[in-house]
A and B are shown apart, each in its own frame.
Chain A
Amino acid sequence: MESTEVKIIKLAKKGNHQAFSDLVDLYKSKIYHLGYRMLGNKQEAEDITQETFLRVYKSIHKYDAKFKFSTWIFRIGTNLCIDRLRKRKNAFSLDAETIEGEGIDGYDILPSLDDSPDQQLIISETQRHVREAIDKLPEKYKSVVVLRYLHDLSLQEVGDILNMPVTTVKTRVHRGREYLRKKLEHGNLI
């Protein structure tokens, strides 16, 4: 039996608007979080989500159902993020500082109701450090780390998305992990 997702994708391929809108609802938060982690701020996360779905819309007729749809859409999203990161690096400007700063937004400092006041502070500080460490990861480790740890994808899937052999993914995960470890150790978090 076909999954709901497969049915939706088939309909969307035929140009059914409702199906496309359902597809947006299925994947928008995944792509948004990918963008948010990769680029470190909400505005660009939104931009990247819009762009990803626009590309999906324009090229869905080329999508081959033999491959996982999630791999395909993650690839589009990741490529757009990597592209932005590279452009940002090239256009080395003062803006870069501001963009990094925006990654820490008010929401994450908001305490959750279950924690005692002391715990709240520690958790949000820890999270801030983790976020900063991820933000500062070099791009080639960042995409691997974000897909692997924040989207909980298998090494094979990460390889499919980034179009690279699993051995390369592993090397990058190792390096990314070391990099984060050093940053967190430096911040006395581990």
Chain B
Amino acid sequence: MNCKQVNSLLHEYLDGDLTGVKLHQLSHHLNTCSNCKENLTQLEKTEALTRSLPKSPVPDDLTDKIMDVIPMKRETRWMRWAKQYPALAAAAVFVIIMMGSLFAMNEPESNLIVSGSGMEYVVIKDNQVIVPEGQTVNGDLVVENGEIIVEGTVNGKVTLIDSEINLLASAEKVAGGVTHIDQTLDWIWYKISGFFDFFKSE
């Protein structure tokens, strides 16, 4: 067997493919030929050096860069988490809302807020909203954390959020009707139903 033939055996040996007679022949040749033996050593070193080449660090933002080119609907971290753990998410929402309500309830004094298209016709005094006698409100009123005293007339709706209404003469004075909203409860309901809508939409 000449050295050229041995070279191809060396590669087979490195691939783990050499057995039996051929392996014997190679071993015999290597014992007598320092040249081929050196060749094997070099090839082994080459393999070792190639294998040991360190991997350079992957850029931190690689996932983001990849996901940037993927044409999919973007999800927030919270949405992903909520879908993965729906029961936990529901519990978390509940806790957050309850905490929020507790704080809201403990608040000693909430400020009066008046809004709506008819607010320019009213008089505001402390936490009272007054529709003076003889005054007609052409629009809607939303009163939050206060009291509304209707002496005149309101042509629109009155919405009361955690508020009272005082109709001095008759209920007919509010043409659009009166809606009471207990903010805490309704808000919880609103948030929870919105949360489940999120799952339904998927």
Q: Which residues of A contact B (CB under 8 A)?
A: 17-18, 20-21, 24-25, 28-29, 32-33, 36-37, 42, 46, 49-50, 53-54, 57, 105, 107-108, 126-127, 130-131, 134, 145, 149-150, 152, 155, 170, 173-174, 177-178, 180-181, 184-185, 189-190
Contact = CB atoms under 8 A, between A and B. Distances in A.
A152 to B, nearest CB: 7
Given A54-B69, A57-B72, A24 B63 contact: yes
A112 to B, nearest CB: 9
13 contacts: A17-B75, A17-B80, A25-B63, A28-B58, A33-B55, A49-B66, A134-B53, A145-B50, A149-B47, A170-B17, A174-B11, A184-B45, A190-B45
B56 A21 contact: no
A50 B65 contact: yes
Nearest to A28: B62
B67 A18 contact: no
Interface string B66-92: 111111110100001001100000000
Contact of A185 (B14, B42, B70, B84): B42
Contacts of A174: 8, 11
A126 B49 contact: yes
B128 to A, nearest CB: 53
A152 B12 CA distance: 17
Most buried by B among A17, A28, A189: A17
Contacts, number: 108
Interface of A is mostly: helix
A164 to B, nearest CB: 15
A27 B56 CA distance: 15
A149 B53 CA distance: 9
Closest 10 CB pairs of A and B: A174-B11, A190-B45, A149-B50, A181-B46, A29-B58, A190-B42, A53-B66, A50-B69, A180-B46, A130-B49
Given A28-B66, A174-B11, A190-B45, A46 B59 contact: yes
Contact of B43 (A105, A130, A181): A181
A170 B12 CA distance: 8
A156 to B, nearest CB: 11
A184 B50 CA distance: 10
A76 to B, nearest CB: 13
Given A17-B73, A20-B70, A127 B54 contact: yes
B156 to A, nearest CB: 46
Contact of A107 (B45, B56, B62): B56
Nearest to B68: A50
